[in-house]
Amino acid sequence: MWTETLKVQGPYNFDLVLDRLMNDPLNVIDKEQRSVKVPLRIEGRPIVIEVRAIGSTDDPAFSISSNSEGDKEAAINRLKKIFHWHQPLSDISSHFMDTDLMGIFEEHRGTAIVLDFDYYGCLVKCIIHQQLNLKFAYTLTARFVQTFGIQRDGVWFYPTPETTAEITIAELREIQFSGRKAEYVTGLAKAIVQGELNLEQLIERSDAEILESLTKQRGIGKWTAENFLLFGLGRPNLFPMADIGLQNALKQLYNLPQKPTIIEMEAYTKNWSPFLSYASLYLWRSIEKRSENK
């Protein structure tokens, strides 16, 4: 067992981060303790890390602990990327202070982009979520993980590509996958197992190269690939134009009579680079229901 304390440059509002993580029923969160248990695979070995906030928004600090021996340095380095502790949010917020998003950034000050805990799990989740309402998408994803994944210390891990490649279409249909979605998920796993797609190598490439590579896979379109870039890899300059949530957020922000066109969206977002991913997050945040108001 090991414990580490890590200080981060503020602002960083971990309570808002937890609020968004609570959307996913697979996440193990304790709001009172301000903590989340993170399932990580370090060199293929599943370990659980507890991340607990012990500071404030302006002076953030975290207690990081695990019951696993070793893997400490690799785990902490991964957590820094997952929770966006590697780049001060103040630099990003400052960029938006002279834009139309200033009010949203002030309202949700210190909200970070938090990545999915596993590259493969993120891509699978993106495929499952395609063309489903959000509530059922999370339910179906949880059903998939709890049926075929593994559990450690009360935390669920997504099944590995090797495990998923052996799952039959019929087994996925039993938990309410459509036949096509079942084919996409098992097809992705088989492509990884057979060496046609290497996610670890892929993450070193440019956004454009990753988009090109992923969209060659059956069942992965631009929306899915962009979401993987944003929430799997944390790429900073992604704005998925086809996302209905972003269209609705822009409609609300600019009091438009209907959802904006692609040309209008390109005009609105012109001055938001190179942090379009944060513009996306805060726009989504502006139309989400906060859990404390439910």
DSSP E strand boundaries for 92-202? 150-152, 155-157
Domain shared by 215 and 274, yes or no: no
> What is the pLDDT at residue 47?
95
CATH code, domain with 22: 3.30.310.20
- Domain boundary at 88, 109, 129, which? 88
Confidence of residue 289 (pLDDT cuts 50, 70, 90): low
Determine which one of 15, 24, 71, 243 is catalytic. 243
243 classed as catalytic: yes
Same domain, 217 and 126: yes
Angle made by CA atoms 61, 63, 64, in degrees to the nearest 5 = 125
Provide the domain limits for residue 8.
Answer: 2-88
Give yes or no: residues 226 and 190 share one domain.
yes
For 110: left if phi > 0, alpha if psi spans -120 to 50, otherwise beta; the answer is left
pLDDT digits (tens, 9 = 90+) for 193-231: 999 999 988 888 999 999 999 999 999 999 899 999 999
Question: How far is it, in rounded angstroms, from Cα 232 to Cα 235?
Answer: 8
Confidence band (pLDDT; 50, 70, 90) for 242? confident
Buried b (16+ CB within 10 A) or exposed e, 198-208: ebeebeeeebe
Give per-residue pLDDT as tens, 144-159.
Answer: 999 999 999 999 999 9
Domain count, the chain: 3
What pLDDT, on a 0 to 100 scale, did the predictor assign at position 134? Answer: 86
Same domain, 148 and 221: yes
Asked whether residue 134 is domain-assigned, the answer is yes
- Mean confidence (pLDDT) of the chain: 93
Tokens representing residue 266 in the block: 């390109």
Torsion angle of the four alpha carbons 163, 167, 171, 173, in this order, in degrees rounded to the nearest 10: 110
| Residue 55 lies inside a defined structural domain of this protein | yes
Query: Quick check: is 49 in a domain?
Result: yes
List, as one string, the DSSP characters of 170-194. HHHHHTT--HHHHHHHHHHHHHHHT
104 domain-assigned: no
- Domain containing 215 — which CATH number? 1.10.340.30
Determine the average pLDDT of the residues in 262-267.
95
Read off the pTM: 0.90
